[in-house]
Structure 1
Amino acid sequence: MSIKIKVTLGVLFLFAVILVISGLGLYYLQRLSQDSKNILTDNYETLQYTKEIISQCDRLKTDSADALEIMEKNIRLQESNITEAGEGELTRSLRSVLNRIKVSHVDDVLLAELRNTCLSIQQINMEAIQKKNENAQQTSENASTYLVITGTLCVLAAFVFIINFPGYIGDPIAQLTSGIKAIANKNYEERLQFDRNDEFEELANAFNLMAEKLDTYEHSNLAKIIFEKKRIETIINRMTDPVIGLDEGNRIIFVNDEALHLLHLERTSVIDQYAPDIAIHNDLLRSLIKTSDPGKNESGLIKAVVSGKENYFSKEIIHVNYLPTGEKENINIGAVILLKNVTAYKELDLAKTNFIATISHELKTPIASLQMCVKLLQDSRVGTLNEEQANIAETLQDEVSRISKITNELLDLSQVETGNIKLNIKRADSYDIVSLATEAVKFQAERKHIIIDIEIEKDVPAVQADIDKTTWVLVNFLTNAIRYSAENGHVVVKCEADNRFVTFSVSDNGPGIEAKYLDRIFEKFFQIPGTASGTGLGLAISKEFIEAQGGKISAESVPGRGTTFTFQLPEGV
């Protein structure tokens, strides 16, 4: 018998139980309703008629015409409502008394006879009401008894059905679910046994066949999987940068020789070990795994001593997600920690910082001397210059001022490198910042035949900023845009107000930046793979400058269509 037929029979059984209880209850409700209706129609109305006739007896002496009319009306109604034995004879006696009253003088004897006759009719109907009430009570008791017996039997039958039938259907499904989970966990030896002639037995046979084939497939591919694992391990060990792999439970599943050398650990002591346990006695490993949770990352450099020399490493954590077949959400199956040795860049950075600081201080004295000499040349007390000499002196003064400004900018840059930024924040015209920056890169743009379009919003407000450092950031954006734009391209500079801030942006039509690198381009020493120019410091310094002024910096890009770098500064007050 198929499951469909079994379910249909079960539903029909429950439907029959409901019909039996409902039909029995409806039958007795109708009987009780009919009994109540008979009492109301047959007896209660008669009591009302006779009561009204008795109430009119006292009025016969004062208002006989009206009282007789009311009596006549009620006697006619009573004559049409004779339902009990003996009630008809009394009703005719009542009519006879009323007729005698009509043709003779009203006296107390006739009135007494009238009242007694009405009371006799009432007595008969009261007895009838009591008897019918007893019958109704008996009917109610019978109904309660039958309903309780029938309901109990039906409830017991339904209870047995409800207890057993879901299990009859659900138990095989639960076993099937358990079997499927076992297969999902790669337990291909799981089998189902259903001894029943329905669809579940066919399903169990199909499931067992599937598990058997999966088991065969698993064992046939095991050698290939082991071979691929060995090849991946070889590739990882040949990498020159340290690499550590963790599973979803933070156990170390692979680590290359470079990472072992850096951590001063042996391979046998770390593989398949819980990383936090090892990190208790290894500070470097503790700093590497402390942000290995999904959604967290760290951009700071890690310092470690390798072969007696301090080395600096940048860290990148790649979280490995996997979408199981048939699932809708990714699950985390581990993480890979990649370290890149940036010691060379760090040394260059320190050397550059020292050089900038030294050369800037050394240049201050000769620049001051040049400025003094120019002032002496322009002083009429020393001597009078002709027009050509005066122009040369003025040009010389402009160039000395320019060298002095460059020297101050170099000092500012060294402040960023040492973390001691000195700002000269004041109200600055937004248009002036854009003009100074575009003028500074004009020569670079002309060499590549790149057009710089300037779009400044009308009546754009001033900003509260250090004009020199802000211009330096905008020049850095423009320099990058020109570098990565094709010849005869366009670079767009925009400046517009935005909710109490002024937004500066530079857009190019270059190759763009992949989304996975956008969050890291403002890190020190980070370089996008495939770009060999620069040291990865320009954007990091720009970020320091803007955020030190209370602003925000960001980048948006569409690969193949270009990149837009943006920074915001508060409006001037």
Structure 2
Amino acid sequence: MQGSEPKAMPVQNRGALRRVVWIVDDSALDAERARRALADHYTVQVFPDGTAALEALGSNQAPPDVLVLDWVMPGVSGIEVCRFVRASSMHARMGILLLTARQQTEQVVEGLSAGANDYLSKPYATSELEARVAALVRTITLLDRAEKAEATIRDLLAHVPDALLVLGEQHRITYANPEAKKALGRPSTGSLLGRPICEVLPELSAELFAVATGEEPFALPDITLDGEVYAPTVRVFPVDLGLGSTILALRNVTTRRMAEVRRLDFYSIIAHDLRSPLSAMLMRSELILMGKHGPLPREVIVDLHKMQGSIRTLVGMINDFLDLASIEGGHYKLNKEDVDLGALVESTADLLRPLLVSGELSFELRGTIRQAAVLADRRRLAQVIANLLSNAIKFTPRGGKITAALEDAETYIEMAVEDTGGGIPSDQIPKLFQRYSRADSRMSGTGLGLMIVREVVEAHGGTVGVESTPGRGSRFWFRLPKPSGRGGHRSALAFHAG
């Protein structure tokens, strides 16, 4: 019996705005039965045939949220009403439930193809009618929320101070906020939409976008637009946001970059002015040690050697600052050529051999690879190797051992420096390649060496890392990609640290 059928849960409170349902059925009995089932939860209006429903849709009357249509009616049938509704974009969100006694697969397919969202076979239980209408209303409610969320996002994008571009397939522009149109010198969005970003901003090649694959912001090299400097940041989302999955932000950093240049120029001048007298002090002390003013007492010789060590430390600190100024100032260039990594490690270790001897340390180069060629800037790569070896020498006690190891992997060549020092606490490892960071705060230095190592290696397209166990030493490594070709290849690549 009807009274024994379970009631569907209401989709909203009575106090909320009620959804509107139209019932179109030529059977007054069936229409009344449907009206009673839905009237508690919705504003229901009944139409005796398809013609009356179409006239109501064509008037100024607000359309319903859900249309419950009988398939078979005299005159205009339910499926014809369905086709008419779907022909207009004005009613695209309207949910349509088709009532039919036809249950053959081809007839069901015909009804759904005409635009119905769902169908219900006659005779039906009123609880099933309520449940199917409630499902359509939930879908419409979700669409409402999604549209409101999109409108909110558009409003936010329109008012952010940065220029924002949303990119769809093939990195084509699908949205540009007012700041983007202003930065790109385009008075209207129409001149931007649909165009590839690499065509609008040739400085941003497809290769740059290829490396940005996560939701975390990925900084791209600065670009200049009409005399203004912008710092691009790209973020790639795993799902389409409605307009695309990639957001490109252009932040105007002209004032900041000018301030940075002035600051770095000031630091560079000071560093250069300091390095010259320090170098002169080293030369004079060396002449004194060589006997320019006669024999020296042993105590004076020891003190002079200590002074020289301190001066060399200061010179090293100044060189680190100058390297940092070069990296951050955008004046850093890599002059790439084929470099035999094994030979470069050997020659760099030879330069540091006096430090190995004075520290009573043994050194071994393992896994030498014949023609272990990488495409790199020889001087900068030697700086990386020297920094890693110097760190190992500094933190390895007398009698310890330092090992440089080369490994030939499928896509890269790895160079690692292992020591038998005290190791590094696990909480300090994440900080090692950051600016001004030292594993042992008691040691002298700027803490810039490992940061410079990271910047140089990453500028070569490589990666750096470290493994360490307290009391068992440390292993610092870097990996460089194998070159696609060899044979005297040289190139110059400008690099700017983000």
TM-score over 0.5 (shorter chain): no
More helix by share: 1
* Higher-RCO chain (CA-CA 8 Å, sequence separation at least 6): 2
Instruction: State the TM bucket, normalised to the shorter chain.
Output: 0.3 to 0.5
What is the TM-score of this pair, normalised by structure 2?
A: 0.45
What is the TM-score of this pair, normalised by structure 1?
A: 0.40
